[in-house]
Each structure stands twice: as structure tokens, then as C-alpha cells.
Amino acid sequence: MKPQIRVRSRIAAVLVLLPCMTALAGGRGDYGWEWPLTLSHDDAGAYRVTLDESVYRRVQDPGMRDLVVFDGTGAAAPTALFEPEQPLARPVPRLELPWFPVPLPSATTARRWDLVSESDADGRLRRVEVRGSMSGERALADALVVDLSRVREAVAALELEWKPVEGLDLGYHVEASDDLDHWTPLATRGRLVDLQREGRQLLHRRIELYGLLPHHQRARYLRLTPDRTDQPLAVTAVTAVFAPRADVAPPSWVELSPVRTSADGLAYEFVLEGRFPVQQADVALVGNHAVEWQLESRDVSDGDWRPRAAPWMGYRVGADGGRSEPAVLAGPVRDRHWRLRASTAVSGTPTLRLGYRPEVAVFVAQGTPPYSLAAGSRRTLREDSPVPRLVDALRERHGRAWQPATAYAGNVRVLAGEQALEPRRDWRSWLLWGVLLIAALVVAGLAISLLRSTRRTAAVDAPAEAAGDAVAESTAGTPDDIVEGKPGDD
């Protein structure tokens, strides 16, 4: 192998390793806090979690890049931040549920059986078995045990499907349980109807649960028991219908008290802890008032103030609470420092109210559960992911109304805490920079070696080329001399 080719291959190998060396930064321990995530149901693949105030208060990066989802092994899952409208904030409309039939005794039978269930660690039913015997005829209708252990959405109703029947009018009552042993009746009754006459059909397959959301959301299982046992019914499917939710979430508000007031009493400064996407502003002031306000902001304490809202009239007049509408900003602003200017002196201290609409973090549930949302770091930033393109592709396939399933954030837990807000100074950082420096020196050394090798090769080749030219010159006239020296030319 030529020296130039060998040296160049070494340089290429080092350059290929540089991205891998720079990827040493960023792990679960580099974030200050985390929120455990509960998935609405299994196997959805992609999930969305709505950010709340506790998350925004701990994010440090203006671009929200110190926010990522980790799996149970500490590996980062592909994560991206979306505006509240993208994707749509509607829940998955329906979900087919696991269900198990339980035979009921009739009035002439004796009950001699036990219900034996098998579930996994998180409560999901895998098997329900009825053991024992029943004397007399078997019941014509079954009770149903419905498994809601993996559902966290608000269920508005259950819809049942069954094999064709000649006529059905059957009432059900509903009970809830967490352990399959103790059942609590719910204040609801369902009625299933399937009647036909002269080619027309009257069909009702829903059991409403919307008014019982606080109760059944805490229950893992529901039991549907028919009022009678003489009505034949072979159920084939049970589907959960989720409660509706507004497409656009109402704004949330953060209230700030001034930390500094100008000498003339017309300007007030505020500090906002966190990276809230502020879109609206309002001023709360005690008593009747009419003041023209100007709002400015900056991200650092020594930066330049920038106007954020056109001057607007804030007022409160009368005992009925009539007051002005909030000012709307041109776009979301995540600055930390805010200044409010009044057109005239005011009595009392104004409170600045900043309104924002919570965004959503969408992630792909790859890796091993459970998952957690981590935020708050000055040591690392989230890598770009193809999640936005994935959402676009899935919405093209399933329709524009498609959206990831919901994930719920639990209570905040401390990871590195405040230490994650300090620049990285541990051994990994020094090792990383040391490796990068050594790699740079190696590249420089190889480049110099390549240059010297090229010069030596040129120096060796030059005399040989000169000698070749001299030989060529010395022999250039020989044929003519020989011809001229032939005998007989005289």
C-alpha cells in the first residue's frame, strides 16, 4: 500500500470515530427530574403526554431540548415536542376490551362453583376459570367480567356485540372491583335491545358510564350482570367508548409579583422561572382602574428589552367584575425576564398574569417499559428524532384525525436535581475532551506525515528523472553518427 493511501485511510478512520466520541454525552443521570409515565393502553406504539407547570418550571433550554423520554433501562426513546393542536388533542375513540363470561345459576339451579382468575403483575387478566358444578340446567345468560386494568382514559360507555337473535330486551346492572373478590354496585343500569319487525330493526347496544367516571376509573374490572337468565345472548365483543375531549385546551396561567419597581413607579420587572410558551398577558390590579400597559421581555438579565404586546387598555369597572380581555402576543415567547410599563401611576401593586397553552411531548415506546419523562439539564440536549415525520406518515395512512395514545405523567421525582443545572465537570467530560484533543493531534500528525512523505517521494524521484533526461540527451545523436561513419561514404 502506498504511504499516501495508508495515511489517508487512518485519517478517515479517525474522522469516522469522532461522531461516536461526541455521543458519549447525555444520559438519564444528566437530567434533574423525571415524571413516571402511565400508558393509556398497551401496544399503541406512539404516545403523547401533556406538559404541566411542574415540567415547564424545570426546563432550562429555550428550545425545550432538555426534555426527553427514557425507557426502563435508561435508554432514550425518540421524542419530539408538538404544539397543542398537532396532533389533535382527541383521545382514541374506541378500544376493544378483554372480557370473560361467567355462568349464572337460574332459579332452579344450585350454585356450587368458584371463580378462579389468573392475572399478570400489573393486574391484566389472562384467564378466568369457573370451577365446581351446577345442578340442574345451565343458565341461558352469562355475566361478563370486563378487564379495564390497562385503560387509563375516561370511558364514557361500553358497547356490546352479539350473535343474531330473534328478539332481545335485556337489562344489566354494573359492578366494579379491583381484586375480583369484592364488588361495588354502580348507580347505572344498561339495557340491550335488538328487535325486528317488518324489515325494521331497533338496536341499542350501549351501557352508559359517563356519569360514573370518578368511580370506574379507579376500578380495574367491571362485571355486567343480566336481570334475567332466560334470555339467550351470546356476546362476541365488548368495546370501550372514550369520553369526548375538547380539541383546543384552554390557556393556563402563571401569576408573577414584581421583583423590581422603577423610581417613578411606572415600570415593574418580573422573573418567570421556567420555559413557558407565553401567548397571552393580563394584569390584575385591585379596585377600579383604567391603565394603558406595555409589555416587554428578555431572556437574560443584561439583554435588550423587546416589545411583546401592542399597548392595550386594561380596566376593571363596576362591582360585577367587568374587565378587559388579555393581550395576545404575536407568538409563543419563552423569555425569563418581563417588564410591564404603565401609562400613569397606579394604586397598589400589579400582578402580571402570563397565559400559555400546554404543549405535548410525543414519543415512540421502543425499548423496555416503564417509561419516564426527564427534564432540566445544562449538560446535555435531546437529539433530533424522526417523530414529526412519523406522525405525518401515520396521519396520512389512518386519516388526519389520528393521534398518538395518551400517557399520563405522575408525580415528579429527583434524578440529579440541581447538580444537572451546573455545567458538566465530571471525569466523563474531561475524558471526552481528552479523546477529542488526542484525535485532533493524531489527525494533525498524520497530515504532517503525509506532507513529509509526499516531499520525500518528490525529492527521490527528481534525480532519477534528471538522470533519465541526461541519458536521453547523450544518446539522442548516436544514430546519425553511425550513419555518417559508414564505410564508402568518402
Domain limits of the chain?
A: 1-25+424-460, 31-84+361-420, 94-242, 252-356
Peptide bond into 87 cis (omega under 30): yes
**Close Cβ partners of 334 (under 8 Å, ≥ 6 residues apart):** 62, 64, 275, 276, 277, 278, 299
Q: What single letter denotes the amino acid at residue 254?
A: V
pLDDT of 13 reads 44
For the stretch 376-434, pLDDT in tens is: 999 999 999 999 999 999 988 888 778 899 999 999 999 999 999 987 665 566 677 78
- CATH number of the structural domain 252-356: 2.60.120.260
**94-242 shares its CATH topology with 252-356:** yes
pLDDT of 125 reads 57
For the stretch 474-485, pLDDT in tens is: 544 544 444 444
**Close Cβ partners of 288 (under 8 Å, ≥ 6 residues apart):** 316, 317, 318
The band of 155, judged by pLDDT with boundaries at 50, 70 and 90, is confident
CA dihedral of 440, 443, 448, 449, whole degrees rounded to 10: 140
What is the C-alpha separation between 382 and 325, in angstroms, rounded?
Answer: 37
Contact assessment for residue 74 and residue 388, using Cβ atoms and an 8 Å cutoff? no
Q: Which residue has the higher pLDDT, 246 or 330?
A: 330
pLDDT of 250 reads 79
pLDDT at 358 over 90: yes
Contact assessment for residue 255 and residue 350, using Cβ atoms and an 8 Å cutoff? no
Contact assessment for residue 83 and residue 93, using Cβ atoms and an 8 Å cutoff? no
What is the percent of the chain where pLDDT is above 90? 47
Pick left, alpha or beta for residue 103 (phi over 0 → left; psi -120 to 50 → alpha; otherwise beta): beta
**Close Cβ partners of 157 (under 8 Å, ≥ 6 residues apart):** 206, 207, 208, 209, 210, 240, 241
pLDDT of 37 reads 96
What is the C-alpha separation between 197 and 169, in angstroms, rounded?
Answer: 14
The helix/strand/coil state of 40 is: coil
Mean pLDDT of 9-22: 42
What is the C-alpha separation between 4 and 6, in angstroms, rounded?
Answer: 6
Q: Tell me the backbone φ, ψ of residue 337, rounded to 5 degrees.
A: -110, 130
Q: How many CB atoms lie within 10 A of CB 255?
A: 11
Sign of CA dihedral 131, 132, 133, 134: negative
The helix/strand/coil state of 212 is: helix
Cell, residue 189: 343500569
**Global pTM exceeds 0.75:** no
Q: How far apart are the first and last CA of the chain?
A: 60
- CATH number of the structural domain 94-242: 2.60.120
pLDDT of 68 reads 97
What is the C-alpha separation between 470 and 477, in angstroms, rounded?
Answer: 13
Rg (alpha carbons) of the chain, rounded to whole number: 38
Give counts: helices (H), strands (E), the chain: 6, 30
pLDDT at 95 over 90: no
